[in-house]
Chains A and B, each alone.
Chain A
Amino acid sequence: MMRRGLWVAAWALIILVLIMPLAVVLAEALKNGFGPALETLKDPDGIAALWLTVEVTTIAVIANTLFGIAAAWLLTKYRFPGRTSLLVLVELPLSISPVVSGLVWLLLFGAQGWWGPALEEAGIHIAFAIPGIILATVFVTLPYVVRTLVPLMEQQGRDTEEAAALAGAGFWQILWRVTLPGARIALVSGILLTTARAMGEFGAVSVVSGHIPGLTETMPLHIESLYNGYQTVAAFTMAALLACMALATVLLRYAPAFLWRSREVPK
């Protein structure tokens, strides 16, 4: 009885909080049918926003994957002074409000910022331009790869790497053939979380972007602009598209585990 009650409560909550909003977004997008919804996607500003999101996400994911691997390696394989502080600092972007993270970049690179005017003179635009959006996104999504890799690599220990070194493997061979494959599930998981977060980031990006349609608007920002301009169908169509992209990323997270499990067939 108790278990049944919990089951019902869990599903009720999931439907109310997770599934309903998605369904409502889809319903709003399609309220005039497929045609008008697809028509809104032909808007050049919308397409620009889609490509900007893809671009920013790709760069953020690559940067944070490389940084995440390096940081996780350093944090788990060596003991050095300040290691614990570094572990805590890596999590900072998770706890700081995205708006604050955005403001930091404005303070540094904005027209009234510390380095802004100097860079502006050199012809480098960061605030209210794409580099700023990328910086803000990288900052916000920094912890995911590190945080998923560290516990697993900690648990792996050094033994397999030492075994590989004794067998003659060099640093890169150990990294590619032993460390990363051993931690691949955590790594893929971290990369996909980074992807999902980078695509959806609103707060930090909103502060540094300057909302220039067709130039510095990512999908979440563009959705807000559309909604505020009473273009409901367009806003919800783009929202549905973004939601689908995020959903696909989340589903991908589970695919590798499934693929790797099925590879080892018991005899």
Chain B
Amino acid sequence: MSVHVENLTRYAPASQRKLLDDITLTFPTGAFVALVGPSGAGKTTLLRAIAGLDQCEEGTLTLNGNSLKTLQDRAGKIGFVFQNYALFPHMTVARNISFGLDVLPRGKRPSPTEIANRVKELLELMQIPALAEAYPARLSGGQRQRVALARALATGPTLLLLDEPFGALDPIVRRTIRTWLRTLHDQLGLTTILVTHDQEEALEVADRIVVMQNGRVVQDASPTDLDEKPQTSFVMEFLGEAVTFKGQVKNGYFVPDEAHVASFPTHISEGRADAMIRPFEIMLQDEGEAAVPLATHGKSNGYRHYSATLAGRAVPVFVPETSGGAHIKTGCAHLNIQNARIFRNGTRAN
């Protein structure tokens, strides 16, 4: 199911503060989109608006081209997984899952056998076939997550909305469920919108990432584009560790304020600017000299972590470990930051 949101604005109750500020987005059928951003950015608010749980004051929302006004119109067409799962505590797992079928009017309701088969099928899809008769209180976080997902999918929706679905899980279960969810999305041909505050999770699982801040969409791009071409310094920082070098553009060069950081050519107009770079993109120039002392902090994922001491601060630098080279660097003459993105007043300039 495709979702189209146009100029959507929602105000906080009884105030002029905008929870959603003029949001326009299109989610084509089959897309796996992650809404990311810090707490209070409006991610959950947008998701709830798409589900029809909250009404927005301004703007339009269409699902497959239809504006389904009431919750009843959307019932069964949208699967929603709540942050805390919101399972019905007094029902068994099987009854939880079949709820959406049990409440159908008599004419549309499948027979009890059909419902039982559907539940069985979903339990197997969720890889929890033995839990049909258990009550939610007895399940682990990961199992509850799967039951919530099965319940959301029972009526065969084509749009799946997930609100921080991995928040309460431990890292290992989190990783497994994440990969499995992606497989499920492809297998069932769903359109999935996932809210998360964990950018790594978003980068790993989604085809497209919408970064939100203060109720607005800051950037809407593929994970690769987002990584390579962040539009604002906020996006750059949100997507991973970044180091900022303040400086001046002069005669076609970015000249950092700090000593021992090399200038590099750029084509942007002259004036103040910030160069932002990821620690693994910083290169060391003239190794062996002592102008910039380096201290090592161990390694991970094939990178050795150093901290380079400049005049007023220490800067993280990750250097790829060459095979067999246990050679620890102790200092260099300059830091080379030619791969940095340049921002002016928070927006991308180069």
Instruction: Using CB atoms and an 8 Å cutoff, list the residues of chain A in contact with chain B.
Output: 159-160, 162-170, 173, 177-178, 181-182, 184, 264, 266
Cα distance A159–B136 in the bound complex, in angstroms: 15
Q: Which B residues are in CB contact (< 8 Å) with A177?
A: 88, 99, 102-103
14 A-B pairs in the complex with CB atoms less than 8 angstroms apart: A159-B82, A160-B87, A162-B80, A163-B82, A163-B88, A166-B71, A166-B78, A167-B103, A167-B151, A168-B103, A169-B103, A181-B90, A264-B138, A266-B138
Q: Which A residues are in CB contact (< 8 Å) with B100?
A: 167-168
Q: Is B184 an interface residue (CB 8 A)?
A: no
Cα distance A160–B84 in the bound complex, in angstroms: 10
Q: Which A residues are in CB contact (< 8 Å) with B52?
A: 166
Q: Which B residues are in CB contact (< 8 Å) with A164?
A: 88, 99, 103
Contact status B86-A163, CB under 8 Å? yes
Cα distance A52–B155 in the bound complex, in angstroms: 51
**9 additional contacts, CB 8 Å, given A162-B82, A168-B104?**
A159-B84, A166-B71, A166-B79, A166-B80, A167-B154, A167-B155, A168-B100, A169-B103, A170-B103
- The answer, among B75, B89, B90, B138, for a CB contact under 8 Å with A167, is B75
Q: Which residues of chain B in 103-128 are interfacial with respect to chain A, using CB atoms and an 8 Å cutoff?
A: 103-104
Residue in chain B with minimal CB distance to A162: B53
* Prevailing SS type, chain B contact patch: loop
Q: Which A residues are in CB contact (< 8 Å) with B135?
A: 264
Q: Which A residues are in CB contact (< 8 Å) with B89?
A: 160, 182
Cα distance A138–B89 in the bound complex, in angstroms: 32
Residue in chain A with minimal CB distance to B81: A163
- Output the least CB separation between A199 and chain B (Å): 29
Contact status B155-A168, CB under 8 Å? yes
- The answer, among A168, A181, A184, for a CB contact under 8 Å with B72, is A168
- Output the least CB separation between B205 and chain A (Å): 23
Q: Which B residues are in CB contact (< 8 Å) with A266?
A: 138
- Output the least CB separation between B130 and chain A (Å): 9
Contact status A182-B88, CB under 8 Å? yes
Cα distance A75–B51 in the bound complex, in angstroms: 25
Instruction: Please count how many residues in chain B sit with their CB below 8 Å of the partner chain's CB atoms.
Output: 29
- The answer, among B76, B80, B104, B138, for a CB contact under 8 Å with A163, is B80
- Output the least CB separation between A186 and chain B (Å): 12
**Contact pattern, B 86-98, Cβ under 8 Å of A = 1, otherwise 0:** 1111110000000
* Prevailing SS type, chain A contact patch: helix
- Output the least CB separation between A58 and chain B (Å): 27
Contact status A165-B86, CB under 8 Å? no
Contact status B103-A166, CB under 8 Å? no
Cα distance A110–B329 in the bound complex, in angstroms: 99
Cα distance A167–B84 in the bound complex, in angstroms: 17
Q: Which residues of chain B in 131-159 are interfacial with respect to chain A, using CB atoms and an 8 Å cutoff?
A: 135, 138, 151, 154-155
Q: Is B74 an interface residue (CB 8 A)?
A: yes
Contact status A160-B51, CB under 8 Å? no
Cα distance A169–B135 in the bound complex, in angstroms: 21
Contact status B71-A178, CB under 8 Å? no
Given contacts A182-B90, A264-B135, contact A166 B84 (CB under 8 A): no
Q: Which B residues are in CB contact (< 8 Å) with A165?
A: 53, 71, 75
Cα distance A72–B124 in the bound complex, in angstroms: 39
Contact status A162-B88, CB under 8 Å? no
Q: Which B residues are in CB contact (< 8 Å) with A178?
A: 88
Residue in chain B with minimal CB distance to A178: B88
Q: Which B residues are in CB contact (< 8 Å) with A163?
A: 80, 82, 86, 88, 151
- Output the least CB separation between A53 and chain B (Å): 34
Residue in chain B with minimal CB distance to A266: B138
Contact status A160-B88, CB under 8 Å? yes
Cα distance A114–B80 in the bound complex, in angstroms: 56
Contact status B88-A166, CB under 8 Å? no
- Output the least CB separation between B85 and chain A (Å): 8
Given contacts A159-B82, A173-B103, contact A166 B90 (CB under 8 A): no
Q: Which B residues are in CB contact (< 8 Å) with A173?
A: 103
Contact status B84-A168, CB under 8 Å? no
Contact status B72-A162, CB under 8 Å? no
Cα distance A79–B89 in the bound complex, in angstroms: 25
- Output the least CB separation between A246 and chain B (Å): 29
| Among all A-B residue pairs, the 7 with the closest Cβ atoms | A168-B75, A167-B100, A159-B86, A169-B103, A163-B86, A181-B90, A168-B76
Residue in chain B with minimal CB distance to A161: B86
Q: Which residues of chain B in 55-76 are interfacial with respect to chain A, using CB atoms and an 8 Å cutoff?
A: 71-72, 74-76
Given contacts A159-B86, A160-B88, contact A166 B72 (CB under 8 A): no
- The answer, among A159, A162, A184, for a CB contact under 8 Å with B90, is A184
Residue with the greatest number of chain B CB neighbours at <10 A, chosen from A164, A167, A182, A264: A167
